[in-house]
Amino acid sequence: MLESDVGLEGLSPKEDPAAEAAGAVDGEGAPPGGPGAQAAAMRVNEKYSTLPAEDRSVHIINICAIEDIGYLPSEGTLLNSLSVDPDAKCKYGLYFRDGKRKVDYVLVYHHKRPSGSRTLARRSQSQDSRLSARSGRQDQPLPGLGSPEGADGPESPQDFHEDDKRFRRAEYEGNLLEAGLELECDEDTKIHGVGFVKIHAPWNVLCREAEFLKLKMPTKKLYRMNEARGLLKKINSVVQKITAPIQPRVAEHRPQSVKRLFYAFSREKQHLFDLSDKDSFFDSKTRSTIVYEILKRTTCTKAKYSMGITSLLANGVYLAAYPLHDGDYRGENVEFNDRKLLYEEWASYRVFYKYQPIDLVRKYFGEKIGLYFAWLGVYTQMLIPASVVGVIVFLYGCATVDDNIPSKEMCDQSQNITMCPLCDKTCSYWKMSSACATARASHLFDNPATVFFSIFMALWAATFMEHWKRKQMRLNYRWDLTSFEEEEGHPRAEYEARVLQKSLRKESKDKKTDKVKLTWKDRFPAYLINLVSIIFMIAVTFAIVLGVIIYRISTAAALAMNSSPSVRSNIRVTVTATAVIINLVVIILLDEVYGCIARWLTKIEVPKTEKNFEERLIFKAFLLKFVNSYTPIFYVAFFKGRFVGRPGDYVYIFQSFRMEECAPGGCLMELCIQLSIIMLGKQLIQNNLFEIGIPKMKKLIRSLRLRQQSPSDEHAKREQRYEVDFTLEPFAGLTPEYMEMIIQFGFVTLFVASFPLAPLFALLNNIIEIRLDAKKFITELRRPVAVRAKDIGIWYNILRGVGKLAVIINAFVISFTSDFIPRLVYLYMYSKNGTMHGFVNHTLSSFNVSDFQEGTAPNDPLDLGYEVHICRYKDYREPPWSEHKYDISKDFWAVLAARLAFVIVFQNLVMFMSDFVDWVIPDIPKDISQQVHKEKVLMVELFMREEQGKQQLLDTWMERDSAKDEPLNNHSPRAGLASPEHHTGAV
């Protein structure tokens, strides 16, 4: 081989140091120059090569002469001169250079690219050093003891760290080779300073790991599923015809009457499985999962520090690790693939009205992501009946607003009810008729239908949970997860690092070699920091709400001094709207801050596995975001107007700010405004704009940065698949996706008594959310590693908790926030003619203006044009002419008793009905349980038949052997001596 061939990474086995190391490992003790070493060297050399074998064998003649005339083509130019389109064979990065081995996973690392002034001989020296380092050769200089290129002078600290990372990569990739994986390196890319290691899992490795992971794979056995009969079959056929236009055009989504039997893969029983097409037996999702398991299990040992791929990524040894997308998703000449199909039938807004192809989503992204989108689809589907009922309740309020007697009485100017000032000094007396619009609007959401809707939504939540459990069981059956048991995952990189530190300290003290693990004593400081930080964050949320309350009070007082009558008449609307907008902005900002704080608090706890980390993170983030999102709403629902005091004896904050009062129609209207603005604002700004804008912005910035770093002469080269995927945003998990939906679920259920249109707005948002998330997963994110899961995990428990809490909160909202209970009490205890006439006057108490505290009376007492002696305020107190003036009246206690009784009855009734729904609807559908039992029976029959076949074959062989041995035994001397006839003749 010519010396110039080294420049194309086509090292011969004798020259390749990686081959020497591989020979020492794979040659089974053969000497380095023996046949075993040479064969192993050729195998390793083939795995690391970036060029096909036929290109490596090409002899480039007289490279030195080309250098002498001043023309030095780059490796990409030289490669293009050998082939018209060298990347067409490997499908632009989806396969190795030989076009046969599929790229199952990619590792990305940083490297220093040689400058253009270097000669090809120097480039070959660099390639020799890199390959030698990857082979793990012991005669290489250690980091800090010399430069790998020798002649470049002393090594800088940055070079020291780069060499350290390079040696770790070399050892790790050598261990991957020993594990059976095949590697191919590519540093000649458009992205400057970034190299890629392509990983391929051969058939024997896939079989070995599939057996180890207990993956269920399709067998040859087909069986017919139980089909509906009679009337049910006709109904199903009619439903299928009706829903045909909204079904995705995906083969996996079509109803199937025949199912293939799945069984945990076993290399000893390969004859049972459908191996007619080995290339597609393990799909890309399964292949990437297998490789990822090997990457996590394989370690790089350096200074007693066992480092898997998670540790190597955390320490910057590798920049990224990800499986590849199946190809491009748009373009006329794009080869058809699952990604393109998902983009057309799932991620496009044109198909917003169609069902999701959940089976194809699971096939491409794995069970965990498939379950998320299935849950989101079930939740959105269940919002349809809730939205319909909510709209009917709202329309009922619109239809009966003109017939509502209390609002009529409030709007009647002839009654001339003069109300007490809403603030000290600057606020004057006002007429109740000025709040007519608020009273009429309150009836839209505070009417008898609201109670029915609250009960309906509580039962809806229970039905939704049961429906999801049944859907989940169907998916588990279809995806062959019925017997799947989640095992404890690999330790996280941070946990291993802490264990290492603890073990080193223990060895220096005790010299013991016992297995070290973190205990609660090691985590106690982190637990204490968590507790203090969470309490502090909750206190910050309460302080911000208090600040908004002070803003409302001070702004109302300032607007009351305005000379414009229109400004003074719209004080309540102005203050409420601006305060809610401030709350919305603060909630959105604090949500991002709390998310980062929750992640930091979880990291310092150092959970052992990713599952533990995720569960603890979810709990902290949900707690903080729940308090942040709902504290302003809780204040309006249960605290505003409750601790005001009375005229002449008001309650003050900081001795200067008087507590707010509810409007004459109650606080329910303000609660509705608060809930609607926060809910819609979070959905539009946080959930949609942020999800669209932030990933696109990050992708644009990353692409511009990489484009600036890349040499200009490489722009003509087409990007490989792994280069395109590297510019995409890394997958950050499903926690943000679930979190926004759980918070929305809280808005829909917790305060639905005050806002019946909440399910409708949630439905409209989710229709967009499904396609938005789908488009993000298909176009904006790197392909995540497929993770097996049989349920949605801790999120189900959170949903159940929110559903139970919703029953209690809605009971208190109806009882204490709305006027439903006072109206019932008045109707059945105090009404003279059995109607609501006189209700408004009954709820108002009287106050003598001469009893105002000094300095709190209005500055302009004649603002209404007449002198006021008695003003009214909303409360149940004795009048000023009573013996016990301004004391709590007996009407207050009667209403309070009715409120508490309603809470108890409502809560227990709804809880009982929810539990009844839970009991009536079985968790596992009957047909699924029958199919699971049928599969077990078929599996037993299959193995029994196999054993019978083996026994028959064994009997046949034994008969043949005995038939062959029989004539031989008759002529054998030993048989002749043993026969009776022989003995008789001898005698």
Q: At what angle do helices 203-212 and 284-297 cross, to 10 degrees?
A: 80
**pLDDT at residue 538 is higher than 90:** yes
CA–CA gap between residue 320 and residue 191 (Å, rounded) = 14
339-353, 900-914, 924-938: least confidently modelled range: 924-938
Q: How confident is the model at residue 132 (pLDDT cuts 50, 70, 90)?
A: very low
* Per-residue pLDDT, 317: 87
Nearby residues of 62 by Cβ (< 8 Å), 6 or more positions away:
none
CA–CA gap between residue 359 and residue 983 (Å, rounded) = 79
* Residue 389 main-chain phi, psi, to 5 deg: -65, -40
Q: Which two tokens stand for residue 751?
A: 């305060």
Give 685's strand partners.
Answer: none
pLDDT of 208-231, one tens digit each? 998 888 888 888 888 777 666 677
pLDDT of 778-822, one tens digit each? 988 899 998 888 889 899 999 999 988 988 998 888 888 888 888
* Burial (Cβ within 10 Å: 0-12, 13-18, ≥19) of residue 210: buried
Question: Collapsing DSSP states into helix, strand and coil, what is residue 109?
Answer: strand
Q: Mean per-residue pLDDT for 95-124?
A: 68
Tell which residue, 649, 555, 576, has the closest CA to residue 877.
Answer: 649
Q: Which residues of 559-572 are buried (b: 16+ CB within 10 A; e: fewer)?
A: bbeeeeeeebeebb
pLDDT: is 643 or 109 the higher one? 109
Neighbouring CB atoms inside 10 A of 974's CB total 7
* Per-residue pLDDT, 929: 80
Q: Residue type for 75, please?
A: E
* Per-residue pLDDT, 250: 81
**pLDDT at residue 138 is higher than 70:** no
Beta strand pairing status for 194-200 and 105-110?
antiparallel
Nearby residues of 585 by Cβ (< 8 Å), 6 or more positions away:
none
Tell which residue, 99, 96, 106, 101, has the closest CA to residue 324.
Answer: 106
CA–CA gap between residue 177 and residue 44 (Å, rounded) = 8
* Per-residue pLDDT, 675: 87
**pLDDT at residue 906 is higher than 60:** yes
CA–CA gap between residue 901 and residue 905 (Å, rounded) = 6
* Sequence ranges of the domains in the chain: 105-112+157-215+265-324, 355-505+516-705+732-920, 930-960
Tell which residue, 300, 324, 290, has the closest CA to residue 198.
Answer: 324
pLDDT of 417-431, one tens digit each? 888 888 888 788 888
pLDDT: is 489 or 952 the higher one? 952
CA–CA gap between residue 29 and residue 23 (Å, rounded) = 8
Q: How confident is the model at residue 763 (pLDDT cuts 50, 70, 90)?
A: very high
* Per-residue pLDDT, 665: 66
pLDDT of 484-527, one tens digit each? 777 666 777 777 777 777 777 766 665 554 567 777 777 888 89
Tell which residue, 375, 394, 506, 495, has the closest CA to residue 443.
Answer: 394
| CB-based contact 358:793 (threshold 8 Å) | no
Question: Collapsing DSSP states into helix, strand and coil, what is residue 185?
Answer: strand
On average, the pLDDT of the chain sits at: 77
Indicate the helix (H) or strand (E) that contains 320: strand 320-322
Q: How confident is the model at residue 69 (pLDDT cuts 50, 70, 90)?
A: very low
Whole-structure pTM value = 0.80
pLDDT: is 146 or 968 the higher one? 968
CA–CA gap between residue 770 and residue 737 (Å, rounded) = 10
pLDDT of 956-975, one tens digit each? 778 777 776 655 444 444 44
CA–CA gap between residue 449 and residue 551 (Å, rounded) = 35
**pLDDT at residue 35 is higher than 60:** no
Q: Mean per-residue pLDDT for 329-344?
A: 84
**pLDDT at residue 949 is higher than 90:** no
Report percent pLDDT > 70 for the chain: 78
